[in-house]
Amino acid sequence: MLVVEGLALVVPVRARKEDEMRLLYIVTKGMADPTLASVPLHIAANGSVELGQDVTVVLAGDATDLVIGDNAQRLEGVGVPPARDLLGKLKEHEVPVYV
């Protein structure tokens, strides 16, 4: 189990296939902190998905703001791609995102 600055909990779970890693990214930051909200999405979309890992994302706490109106379209952190691009990539790869 790994906690990164209280913003994401990544829980590796043993997969049925010996060489496959399953990861759960829990996003807890929202519109008030766009960079920290985007970091776990960035790692999931441009890290784990690219490596072929089985990924699931959970939006919890303040991160649930991302599903209200056009918030996900407007969220842009510093040094990371816009949330709309990250969520688009997760959708493209059929990554489940739970609220």
How far is the C-alpha of 27 from the C-alpha of 37, rounded, in Å? Answer: 6
Closest CA to 26 of 16, 42, 40: 40
Please report, in tens digits, the pLDDT of each residue of the chain (99 residues total): 444 445 555 656 555 566 678 899 999 999 999 999 999 999 999 999 999 999 999 999 999 999 999 999 999 999 999 999 999 999 999 999 999
Return the pLDDT at 20: 74
How far is the C-alpha of 8 from the C-alpha of 90, rounded, in Å? Answer: 17
- Tokens describing residue 60: 């919890």
Return the pLDDT at 3: 46
Q: Quick check: 69 and 35 in contact, CB under 8 A?
A: no
Show me where the domains of the chain are located. 2-98
- Write down how long the chain is: 99
DSSP 66: G
